[in-house]
Amino acid sequence: MSDNAGKQTPSRVSFIGLGVMGYPMAGHLAGSGYQVSVYNRTRAKAQKWVAEHGGQSAESPAAVAVEAQIVFTCVGNDDDLRAVTTGPDGAFEAMAPGAIFVDHTTASAKVARELAAAGAERGITFLDAPVSGGEAGAQKGILTVMVGGEPEAFERARPAIESYARSVGLMGPSGSGQLTKMVNQICLAGLLQSLAEGLDFAQRAGLDVEQVLAVISKGASQSWQMENRGVTMHRDEFDFGFAVDWMRKDFGLCLDEARRNGASLPVAALVDQFYARIQARGGSRWDTSSLIRLLRDN
Amino acid sequence: MSDNAGKQTPSRVSFIGLGVMGYPMAGHLAGSGYQVSVYNRTRAKAQKWVAEHGGQSAESPAAVAVEAQIVFTCVGNDDDLRAVTTGPDGAFEAMAPGAIFVDHTTASAKVARELAAAGAERGITFLDAPVSGGEAGAQKGILTVMVGGEPEAFERARPAIESYARSVGLMGPSGSGQLTKMVNQICLAGLLQSLAEGLDFAQRAGLDVEQVLAVISKGASQSWQMENRGVTMHRDEFDFGFAVDWMRKDFGLCLDEARRNGASLPVAALVDQFYARIQARGGSRWDTSSLIRLLRDN
């Protein structure tokens, strides 16, 4: 491939993992004019996607990755990610030198560095690129994407990523995307718990909780969560959004990393334990704003 | 006083307590055309205010309250508030029946109800009206004001309050303003601590912290505090803003009220204890974002 060809906008891309995030993200790529091939562990979902968006589906991560200039993935965790990259029939064995692998999974910084090194041996550039914004953000194509890896590959992949993102930032070398996502989750822990404590207090104090939210969300306690989850928390609605199981997985990554870098996370660790109690109450799939249920009487 | 006179916009008002909040608030009243008389425990400050804004100063809360249609105050705590209202030479003994007392102190719901009852015996309407927005909000005249008390008095006082407020809400009967302010402070506790944990983690992880803030503040962990205190926290700047001593006073009110209404506040109680450690380190006057200092190595 000539230098010029290498700098052209990639047009053939692949997407591995059509879950609640990957499905609409791959759809935005197709909608932006990319030729998209897809792979999903459950085949029926890949066939449904092709029926909706065109393109083609393949039988394995390796098969879908052949000829792709960029391979995207969004899977469950470190192990799933290793399976679709360096595992048997994984994408890395099929990708051409010069191709880019963009991983949208929220995973460890360790696996990101490991796969960046494994990719480099084959001439493949690996970018860790976890997202924030949830299912709604993926559907609307307004995700925030935090990327770790080499600047040149980042710039080549960026136009494709922007088909489903409002904000894309290169945060540093491999692993930096994952570490940035961890910072985001750490910031959420106490924010969500204190919002829950505030709203439960408001109700016990006999206040009109929705009016309280309308007033205080104009001041120093304002947050995206207050504006987007305050009313639903008060109304006891948790059957949507970002599930408690996923948050616990992410907190596990944060607490592991903190053991390595020496950070102290007293409130994140405490709120992680509160989520364990939510899981025990059957709330694994409830939105993370469900912390308020532990404070209520019933 | 005829019905019509009672419904005219009050033009003669008084302000008791020219601290960092009261001084600019009284200034906005004068700037909006009200005839403002002021009282301050330290006389020099009242004289300075009169030199800047006109009007007149008086020798006691009682003296300043004579002839005022609305008397405002913003003092330190429940005891200060009792002293300037029902104490010797307090405002209540001098106020005319039909006048309104608007208290901007962050105080207990209990003292608000007590003074509303004491005022009612004299034909004075008491409104508890704590504010949010801090010194900068008072100077710019963009405070949030949470009011408890009677709707008729609220509507009469509202235009004057709006001279320094962007958002004014009647939250319910006496005490409701204070309870709403407590909800606001409870929501801040874990939000601030988790922001501190996140930024300390980011630094230990080797990330560019200001870039991380720029990216994640577009997502689900966004907050007013992240946008307005994130960078200064990272730069270790705490010589401004809302002081730790004031926050501990407010948390004391919240935790007392929670004992009465049965609310559980695990993270607010924990963060209150972290602030005790900040005070022990000499940080009584530091901004509440100084929690990050407990997480750093030095």
Question: Is the pLDDT confidence value at B104 over 70?
Answer: yes
Contact flag B184-A261 (C-beta cutoff 8 Å): no
* Shortest distance, CA B132 to any CA of chain A (angstroms): 6
Question: Is the pLDDT confidence value at B4 over 90?
Answer: no
Query: Which pLDDT belongs to residue B221?
Result: 95
Contact flag B180-A212 (C-beta cutoff 8 Å): yes
Phi, psi dihedral angles at A38 (to 5 degrees): -125, 150
Contact flag A194-B198 (C-beta cutoff 8 Å): no
Mean pLDDT, chain A, rounded, equals 95
- Give the closest of A167, A188, A198 to B220, CB-based: A188
Give the count of alpha carbons within 13 A of B154, CB side only: 18
Query: Which pLDDT belongs to residue B206?
Result: 98
Q: Give the mean pLDDT of A41-46.
A: 97
Question: CB–CB of A173/B237 below 8 Å?
Answer: no
Residue B148 forms beta bridges with which residues? B128, B172
Contact flag A264-B200 (C-beta cutoff 8 Å): yes
| Nearest-angstrom CA–CA distance, A216 and A223 | 10
Q: At a CB cut-off of 8 Å and minimum separation 6, what does B211 contact?
A: A169, A171
Q: Give the mean pLDDT of B124-137.
A: 95
Report residue A153 as tokens.
């590959």
Residue A279 class from Cβ within 10 Å (0-12 exposed, 13-18 middle, 19+ buried)? middle
Tell me the chain A residues in contact with residue B169 when contact means C-beta distances shorter than 8 Å: 211, 214-215
| Nearest-angstrom CA–CA distance, B238 and B242 | 9
Question: CB–CB of A254/A189 below 8 Å?
Answer: no
Contact flag A194-B184 (C-beta cutoff 8 Å): no
- Give the closest of A134, A189, A195 to B187, CB-based: A195
Instruction: Determine the length of chain B.
Output: 298
| Nearest-angstrom CA–CA distance, A116 and A149 | 8
- Using CA coordinates, name the residue in chain A closest to B199: A183
Query: Which pLDDT belongs to residue A1?
Result: 37
Query: Which pLDDT belongs to residue A297?
Result: 81
Domain boundaries, chain A: 12-172, 180-296
Q: Give the mean pLDDT of A270-275.
A: 98
Tell me the chain A residues in contact with residue B221 when contact means C-beta distances shorter than 8 Å: 132, 184-185, 187-188, 191, 223-225
Give the count of alpha carbons within 13 A of B97, CB side only: 6
Contact flag A215-B171 (C-beta cutoff 8 Å): yes
Q: At a CB cut-off of 8 Å and minimum separation 6, what does B242 contact?
A: A220, B134, B287, B288
Question: Is the pLDDT confidence value at A139 over 80?
Answer: yes
Question: CB–CB of A190/B193 below 8 Å?
Answer: yes
Catalytic residues of B: 181
- A200-219 per-position pLDDT tens digit: 999 999 999 999 999 999 98
Domain spanning B12-172: which CATH class is it, in words? Answer: alpha beta
Question: 3-class SS at A126?
Answer: strand
Q: Give the mean pLDDT of A50-62.
A: 97
Residue B131 class from Cβ within 10 Å (0-12 exposed, 13-18 middle, 19+ buried)? buried
Least confident range from A67-71, A235-239, B216-220: namely B216-220
Q: Which amino acid is at B292?
A: I
- B269-279 per-position pLDDT tens digit: 999 999 999 99
Residue scoring higher pLDDT (B84 or A134): B84
**pTM of the predicted structure, to 2 decimals:** 0.94
If phi over 0 gives left and psi between -120 and 50 gives alpha, with beta otherwise, what is residue B112?
alpha
Q: At a CB cut-off of 8 Å and minimum separation 6, what does B232 contact?
A: B238, B240, B287, B289
Query: Which pLDDT belongs to residue B283?
Result: 98
Q: Which of A7, A45, A48, A181 is catalytic?
A: A181
- Give the closest of B182, B194, B268 to A186, CB-based: B194
Tell me the chain B residues in contact with residue A132 when contact means C-beta distances shorter than 8 Å: 216, 219-221
Query: Which pLDDT belongs to residue B3?
Result: 40
Confidence of residue B1 (pLDDT cuts 50, 70, 90): very low
Query: Which pLDDT belongs to residue B205?
Result: 98
Contact flag B220-A221 (C-beta cutoff 8 Å): no
Query: Which pLDDT belongs to residue B8?
Result: 53
Q: Give the mean pLDDT of A268-292.
A: 98
Question: CB–CB of A98/A65 below 8 Å?
Answer: no
Mean pLDDT, chain B, rounded, equals 95
Confidence of residue A9 (pLDDT cuts 50, 70, 90): low
Q: Give the mean pLDDT of B136-165.
A: 97
* Shortest distance, CA A263 to any CA of chain B (angstroms): 5
* Shortest distance, CA B208 to any CA of chain A (angstroms): 7
Distances (CA, A) of A68 to A1, A23, A64, B98, B272: 14, 18, 8, 79, 54
Question: Is the pLDDT confidence value at A4 over 50?
Answer: no
Interface test with A, best of B113, B147, B197 (most A CBs within 10 A): B197
- Give the closest of A212, A228, A267 to B183, CB-based: A212
Contact flag A221-B187 (C-beta cutoff 8 Å): yes
- Give the closest of A188, A220, A262 to B194, CB-based: A188
Q: Give the mean pLDDT of A13-41.
A: 97
Q: What is the ipTM of this complex?
A: 0.94
Which residue in B69, B47, B48 sits closest to B58, CA to CA?
B47
Question: CB–CB of A74/A104 below 8 Å?
Answer: yes
Domain spanning B180-296: which CATH class is it, in words? Answer: mainly alpha
Query: Which pLDDT belongs to residue B297?
Result: 81
B35-39/B56-57 β-pairing: parallel
Question: Is the pLDDT confidence value at B295 over 70?
Answer: yes
**How many other CB atoms sit within 10 Å of the CB of residue A243?**
20
Report residue B105 as tokens.
């102190």
- Using CA coordinates, name the residue in chain B closest to A168: B215
Distances (CA, A) of A270 to A121, B102, B271: 41, 40, 12
Distances (CA, A) of B28 to A141, B77, B138: 45, 23, 9
Question: Is the pLDDT confidence value at A146 over 60?
Answer: yes
Question: Is the pLDDT confidence value at B80 over 60?
Answer: yes
Q: Give the mean pLDDT of B141-163.
A: 97
Q: Give the mean pLDDT of B268-295.
A: 98
Question: CB–CB of A14/A36 below 8 Å?
Answer: yes
Confidence of residue A5 (pLDDT cuts 50, 70, 90): very low
